[in-house]
């Protein structure tokens, strides 16, 4: 498969009046054409910041200090002509905050095509109606005349997905797209993403803290912790044979309906502050398999053809 997105040794520094910190911190991964990659981790691990860096939407107090992002053969960290909107799109976490409350949905969606492809308003409206209908928004013509507050949470998210897919992007980034939805609507949105994956050639970077959602759609999973990538693996292998102790802890904490357990497994402690990360392996304060060297030195990066793990336990064993 051909590489569509390459993130290489990416580090992003945040600066305020009192301190500087880096999240993410020297991460590398690849998204191939037509592939769906899941990016998982607890809040604060650097998932959303990575997505914003790819989209060229970092806040003013953040900057890329090392590394590069190569999209479709072009280093987009050093070009002013960013492909955002035309070749890559993003579905944000909270659609109500992402949509303009003062503009009708039709105006906002048509604007994407008018600005990027110089379509007439009539052509743009026709394509918007077709796209919204495909995404399960009934009576699309009428719905275009409504404001975001007149849509339900699930309908707003469908409108955001429609906006992202209008330009038929090569890469779609979905940043926790089901967070604010109830389980029934969540299932419908996940079904929508599965349909997009099977019916288009668009690559998807699906960001979530919920491994069970990622398992439904991803071909490959990247696990992040405290700004670092600790494991990359094909989805099936990640769930049947997790390598990193953090990944093992995440998977064992997923409730199993077939087992009657009085107490769910949990990972003790909490994610360290990026202002003062622990020495050595960042997971060692919470790891029940830590070695003495884990406290002192950053773990080695161990690669095979399909898998990556950053852990001292596999330094000589191989994976």
Interstrand relation of 203-208 and 36-40 (parallel, antiparallel or unpaired): parallel
Question: Can you give the pLDDT at residue 220?
Answer: 96
Domain ranges of the chain: 3-87+167-314, 99-166
Question: Can you give the pLDDT at residue 56?
Answer: 93
How many Å apart are CA 13 and CA 66, to the nearest integer?
A: 9
Question: Can you give the pLDDT at residue 186?
Answer: 86
Question: Can you give the pLDDT at residue 205?
Answer: 96
Superfamily of domain 3-87+167-314: P-loop containing nucleotide triphosphate hydrolases (3.40.50.300)
Residue 24 corresponds to which tokens in the numbers above?
A: 């993410």
Is the four-CA dihedral 258, 264, 265, 271 of positive or negative sign? positive
Q: Please confirm whether the linkage preceding 182 is cis (ω < 30° from 0).
A: no
Alpha helices per DSSP H over 171-259: 183-199, 211-217, 235-240, 245-252
Question: Can you give the pLDDT at residue 301?
Answer: 92
- Judge contact between 254 and 211, C-beta under 8 A: yes
Q: What phi, psi does 272 have (nearest 5°)?
A: -70, 155
pTM for the full model?
A: 0.91
Q: What phi, psi does 305 have (nearest 5°)?
A: -60, -35
User: What is the full per-residue pLDDT of the chain (319 aa) written as tens digits?
Assistant: 789 999 999 999 999 888 899 999 999 999 999 999 999 998 889 999 999 999 999 999 999 999 999 999 999 998 888 898 889 999 988 888 889 999 999 999 999 999 888 899 999 999 999 988 888 888 889 999 999 999 988 888 889 888 988 888 999 999 998 877 788 888 888 888 888 888 888 999 999 988 889 999 999 999 999 999 999 999 999 999 999 999 999 998 877 777 776 677 788 888 898 888 999 999 999 999 999 999 999 999 998 878 999 999 987 655 5
Matching residue, tokens 């190569």:
70
CA angle 66, 20, 94 (to 5 degrees): 85
How many Å apart are CA 292 and CA 317, to the nearest integer?
A: 17
């Amino acid at each position: 498969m051909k590489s569509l997105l390459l993130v290489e040794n990416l580090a992003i520094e945040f600066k305020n009046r009192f301190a500087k910190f880096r999240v993410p911190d020297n991460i590398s991964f690849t998204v191939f054409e037509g592939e769906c990659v899941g990016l998982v981790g607890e809040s604060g691990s650097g998932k959303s910041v990575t997505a914003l860096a790819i989209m060229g939407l970092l806040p003013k107090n953040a900057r890329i200090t090392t590394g590069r992002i190569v999209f479709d053969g072009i280093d987009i960290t050093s070009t002013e002509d960013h492909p955002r909107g035309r070749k890559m799109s993003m579905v944000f976490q909270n659609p109500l905050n992402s949509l303009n409350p003062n503009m009708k949905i039709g105006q906002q969606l048509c604007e994407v095509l008018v600005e990027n492809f110089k379509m007439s308003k009539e052509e743009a409206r026709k394509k918007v109606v077709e796209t919204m209908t495909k995404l399960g928004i009934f009576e699309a013509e009428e719905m275009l005349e409504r404001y975001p507050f007149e849509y339900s949470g699930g309908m707003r998210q469908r409108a955001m997905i429609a906006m992202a897919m209008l330009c038929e992007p090569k890469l779609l980034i979905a940043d926790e797209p089901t967070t604010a939805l109830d389980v029934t609507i969540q299932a419908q949105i996940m079904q929508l993403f599965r349909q997009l994956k099977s019916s288009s050639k668009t690559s998807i970077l699906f960001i979530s803290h919920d491994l069970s959602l990622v398992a439904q759609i991803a071909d490959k999973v990247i696990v992040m912790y405290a700004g670092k990538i600790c494991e990359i693996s094909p989805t099936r292998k990640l769930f049947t044979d997790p390598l990193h102790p953090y990944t093992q802890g995440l998977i064992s904490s997923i409730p199993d309906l077939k087992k009657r357990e009085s107490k769910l497994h949990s990972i003790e402690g909490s994610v360290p502050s990026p202002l003062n990360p622990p020495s050595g392996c960042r997971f060692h304060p919470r790891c029940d398999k830590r070695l003495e060297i884990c406290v002192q030195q950053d773990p080695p990066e161990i690669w095979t053809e399909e898998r990556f793990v950053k852990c001292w336990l596999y330094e000589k064993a191989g994976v």
